[in-house]
Amino acid sequence: MITLDTITDAHERIRPYIHRTAVLTNQTINQRVGAKLYFKCENFQKIGAFKARGGLNAVLQVAANGEGKAITTHSSGNHAQAVAFAARQVGLPAYIVMPRTAPQVKKDAVRGYGAEIIECEPTLEAREQGVREMIERTGAVLVHPFDDDRVIAGQATAAKELIEDYGQETPFDVILTPVGGGGLLSGTSLITHYLSPTTRVIAGEPEGAADAVLSIKSGKVEKAPYINTIADGLMTGLSERTLAIIRQHVADVLTVSDEEIVAAMRLVWERMKIVIEPSCAVPLAAVLKHKNQFAGQKVGIVLTGGNVDLGKLPF
Amino acid sequence: MITLDTITDAHERIRPYIHRTAVLTNQTINQRVGAKLYFKCENFQKIGAFKARGGLNAVLQVAANGEGKAITTHSSGNHAQAVAFAARQVGLPAYIVMPRTAPQVKKDAVRGYGAEIIECEPTLEAREQGVREMIERTGAVLVHPFDDDRVIAGQATAAKELIEDYGQETPFDVILTPVGGGGLLSGTSLITHYLSPTTRVIAGEPEGAADAVLSIKSGKVEKAPYINTIADGLMTGLSERTLAIIRQHVADVLTVSDEEIVAAMRLVWERMKIVIEPSCAVPLAAVLKHKNQFAGQKVGIVLTGGNVDLGKLPF
């Protein structure tokens, strides 16, 4: 059970290691949507993504409790960096199982934090097999990218800061995040429920990895009909744990096409002059697609990360 | 004579129309240089560049004094947007003479502010001819991109904010800007002389438009040996006016190659997650090239703008 105290404790624990990231607004984008958008810039976070929060909250506890001699995980990107970064802070070795198709810039960053990369085929089976081998060989503890209460509580702290800094006098009507495995979405929906109960939480999901809409409808963890999206951070499906929280606290999931994702990403680059990755543009794409639904509202959006391979841009 | 009062007045005049832009720091870049760098983010400024400051300071005075029925200028890019934006604020028509080779994104933005574009050949002669025609035909007043005390005083306000916000307790050792026509550099060197006299002001200049180094040496306005650089905002030469100020108050001009400019630009995009244009990366490129000269120092850098054509990136 992730209570308000769990999240507050997580925030205290990770605070010395993270940035309290800026919240930006943009007049042009507000005019285009007809709403007031507040962008929580986790692309400015340590390791370039919100994942630093969850990774740190888990790894700091593993280290403090002496739960293992090393950390391992599997990740296509930002969580890999987060765990590598967090492990370095506490002086534990990190073994990161990454699909060989992961962007080079993310592999370089993981190595830059001193972690060892174990490359595998880009399937869930291969990734989980790689992690099992690491646990056996090194006595490492798994920090799962999202199916972990500590990770979820850490991710919740991004929306906590957003609400504390900009949602006190006038609460947000909506807060949006993308949904992949559901760690950020779960955490965001919980902390919003605790701190700003009138605020709806909505997720943006790529059409090419649309498992969350299905899972919420059926009530059990479903697979996406097909996986093919530029939003490489959102290809994962939910877990029982994240689905349960999401069904309870998330108002809606809006799906968007890759074309809509790239258009939203380009708008942010051109108008806000900040670098965001495709996965990060999904909630804004959803807001642009469903303008009427957000007209006149106060909308918070967690910009999740900015780790793109500049050699492979979709423009 | 541009006094401290001139610049303070300019700041008061333009304050309602501009952002007091953020100052960012980055641990990775600091480590790479071995110095403490403070980036004044004028890429977040209105119109995406510091030029909004000088354009506004001139246009607001033209309007307040009833000096003309319209505004005209010639510019390859950001000054065009600045004048178009400023003219719209005061309700005057703007006629902008732009070389037909200017980036499409900048032309679109100028039109977006309601100004009329007059395209010309990409030579100084054609640009000046275009402006003369506009003055005759429309009774417009020229707001020159840099050879204008009002424009220089406006540009000075970026460094003024940087010094006020981050250079009070411990003064900067150095403040750097790029140099093209010298408006920003002149203004920066003046306000630094007034507010932080122990701080050296240094310019970065592309090797492929290296007129400022020559002009400072000879004491008269020289042409660059050749013009060929990715830094499209810095191809212009100095004027008598800017050269005089620069000779008096600027400590040094450091030249960098296009390769060094692109590497610095990429470093900022990847590590700071912000969009800057090639011209904007020139001072950081100079700092990276001459690390020893800046070791252990407190360094301010004006990031001048973020208006890039995402379809034509040098990565």
The answer, yes or no, to whether residue A105 has pLDDT greater than 90, is no
Write the pLDDT tens digit of every residue in A297-314.
999 999 999 999 898 899
Across the interface, which of A43, A269, A310 has its CB nearest the CB of B315?
A310
Residue among A273, A276, A306 whose CB faces B48 most closely: A273
pLDDT > 90? residue B124: no
Q: Is the pLDDT of residue B123 over 80?
A: yes
**How far is A247 from chain B, CA to nearest CA, in Å?**
34
| pLDDT digits 0-9 by tens, A12-70 | 999 999 999 999 999 999 999 999 999 999 999 999 999 999 999 999 999 999 999 99
* pLDDT for position A123: 86
Residue A122 has pLDDT above 90, yes or no: no
What would the pLDDT profile of A150-180 be if each residue is shown by its tens digit?
999 999 999 999 999 999 999 999 999 999 9
Measured between CA atoms, how close is A135 to chain B, in angstroms?
A: 32
Three-class SS of residue A273?
Answer: coil
Compare B315 and A298 and report the one with higher pLDDT: A298
Distance from CA of B22 to the nearest CA of A (A): 10
Contact present, A313 and A230 (Cβ < 8 Å): no
pLDDT tens by residue, A241-263: 999 999 999 999 999 999 999 99
Contact residues on chain A for B44, CB-CB shorter than 8 A: 272-273
- Report which secondary-structure segment, H or E, holds A256: strand A252-256
Nearest CA in chain A to B269: A275
* Interface residues of chain B, partner chain A, Cβ below 8 Å: 22, 43-44, 48, 105, 266, 269-270, 272-276, 306, 310-311, 313, 315
Mutate: best of B88, B270, B273, B304, partner A, most A CBs <10 A: B273
Task: Tell me what pLDDT residue B219 has.
Answer: 97
CB-based contacts of A173, cutoff 8 Å, min separation 6:
A199, A200, A294, A297, A298, A299
Average confidence score pLDDT of chain A: 96
Of B88-97, B134-143, B287-296, B304-313, the one with minimum mean pLDDT is: B304-313
Integer angstrom CA distances of residue A149 from A58, A192, A240, A315, B183: 9, 16, 12, 37, 55
> Tokens in use for A28?
């042009």
Distance CA B258, CA B252 (A): 19
- B-chain CB neighbours of A29 within 8 Å are none
Whole-model pTM: value is 0.94
Residue A124: pLDDT band with limits 50, 70, 90: confident
Tokens of A231: 């939003």
pLDDT band, very low/low/confident/very high, at B142 (cuts 50, 70, 90):
very high
Give me the mean pLDDT over the B227-235 stretch.
94
Measured at the CA of B77, the angle between CA A309 and CA A267, to 5 degrees, comes to 40
- Give the pLDDT score at A78: 92
Q: To the nearest whole angstrom, how far is the Cα of B16 from the nearest Cα of chain A?
A: 15
pLDDT above 90: residue B109: no
How many CB atoms are located within 10 Å of the residue B33 CB?
20
Average pLDDT, integer, range B128-153: 96
Query: Out of A48, A105, A273, whose CB is closest to B275?
Result: A273
Q: What is the mean pLDDT of residues B87-104?
A: 93
| Strand ranges in chain B using DSSP code E only, listed in sequence order | 23-24, 36-41, 70-74, 94-99, 116-120, 140-142, 174-178, 200-206, 252-256, 298-303
Q: Is B1 exposed, middle or buried (0-12, 13-18, 19+ CB in 10 A)?
A: exposed
pLDDT at A309: 86
Chains A, B: CB pairs < 8 Å: 42
> How many CA atoms does the CB half-sphere of A164 hold within 13 Å?
12
Task: Indicate the DSSP class of residue A305.
Answer: B
**B245–chain A nearest CA distance, Å:** 32
Rounded CA gap, A149 and A153, in Å?
A: 6
Q: Do A273 and B313 touch (CB under 8 A)?
A: no
Tell me the pLDDT band of B31, cut-offs 50, 70 and 90: very high
Q: What percent of chain A has pLDDT over 90?
A: 93
Non-local CB neighbours of B3 within 8 Å, separated by 6+ positions: B194
Residue B274: which of B101, B69, B66, B48 has the closest Cα?
B48
pLDDT of res. A72:
97
Asked whether the predicted pLDDT for residue B103 surpasses 80, the reply is: no
Interchain pair A310, B44: CB under 8 A: no
Show Cβ contacts of residue B260 under 8 Å, excluding neighbours closer than 6 positions.
B285, B288, B289
Task: Identify the CA nearest to A42 among candidates A240, A277, A297, A313.
Answer: A277
Instruction: Check B266 against A310: CB less than 8 A apart.
Output: yes
Contact B127, B181 (CB under 8 A): no
Closest among A147, A159, A178 to A58, alpha carbons compared:
A147
DSSP element (H, E) containing B56: helix B51-64
What band does A104 get if pLDDT is binned at 50, 70 and 90?
A: confident
Which of chain B's residues have a Cβ under 8 Å away from the Cβ of A44? 272-273
Tokens coding B49: 């560049």
What is the residue whose two structure tokens read 């402006």?
B131
The whole-number average pLDDT for the span B20-34 is 96
B126 HSE (CA, 13 A, CB side): 13
Describe the crossing of helices A78-90 and A104-112 by its angle, rounded to 10 degrees.
0
Residue among B275, B311, B315 minimizing CB distance to A274: B275
Q: Which of B20, B270, B312 to mutate to test the interface with A (most CBs of A within 10 A)?
A: B270
**Shortest distance, CA A79 to any CA of chain B (angstroms):** 17
Measured distance CA(A243)–CA(A75) in Å, rounded: 20
Return the pLDDT at B188.
99
User: What is the ipTM score, two decimals?
Assistant: 0.93
| Other residues' Cβ atoms within 10 Å of the Cβ of residue A105 | 18
Average pLDDT (B248-276) is: 98
Distance from CA of A72 to the nearest CA of B (A): 25
Lowest mean pLDDT among B52-56, B100-104, B151-155: B100-104
Q: How far apart (Å, rounded) are the C-alpha atoms in residues B262 and B241?
A: 30
